Amino acid sequence: MQLDKIVHFHKTVGDKTRIQIIALLKDGPLHGQAIAGKLGLTPPTISYHLTKLKEIDVIFQRRDKNTIYFHLNEKTLVLMAEAILRIGGEKEMDEFKVNDQERYNVIQNFFASDGTLISIPAQRKKKLIVLEHLVRGLQKGKTYQEKEINDYIKPFHEDFATIRREFVMGGFMTRQNGEYELNPESLWLIQ
């Protein structure tokens, strides 16, 4: 990730009004006038700030009749907020690079012959391999309800809730308004 993009993100987000907008939208989408009302500012001012937030891709909009609702894009918010922590640390990713033999062994050890998951590895590297294996059956770009994810996981392991959370914590999926989506940048850490 290039430095300028990170700077732009923080510069944009480093403003009281814009942080307040982000905080408001965490509770769900709102239209411009509503935001202006809640913050005691005029619609043009809100428009100005929304444009800035759109530039860094942390909000998107959807029109309903005359009214445009602004939504928080939590996916990029997470990605960008954590980018500063990764500066200069790209090399350390090597620790998690995995070859086919390694992956094969882990899959053999942690999955039974009927395909069910025997246990979740404690070692981070192995856990990532297992999670990545599990997640492969999900479709890129599709959004899933929580229940759909649970039903997908159940055949592998009864503790679907833990695994669903691991998907998110491991960066494989992102959650937004209770909907889940595969993180396209995620079939990567490994390999």
Can you give the length of the chain in residues? 191
Q: Which stretch binds DNA (CB under 7 A): 43-51, 71-79, 151-159, 180-188?
A: 43-51
Rounded Cα distance, 83 and 81, in Å:
6
User: Which of 3, 143, 149, 145 lies closest to 80, judged by CA?
Assistant: 3
Asked if 157 touches DNA (CB under 7 A), the answer is no
Residue in 28, 43, 137, 184 binding DNA, rule: CB under 7 A: 43
Rounded Cα distance, 93 and 167, in Å:
18
Asked if 61 touches DNA (CB under 7 A), the answer is yes
Q: How many CB atoms within 10 Å of residue 52? A: 19
114: which 2 tokens? 């009927």
- In the complex, the residues that contact its own copies under the rule CB under 8 A are 3-4, 6-16, 19-20, 22-23, 26-27, 77-78, 81-82, 84-85, 87-89, 119-120, 122-124, 159, 162, 165-166, 169
- In the complex, the residues that contact DNA under the rule CB under 7 A are 11, 15-17, 31-33, 41-52, 61, 63, 65-68
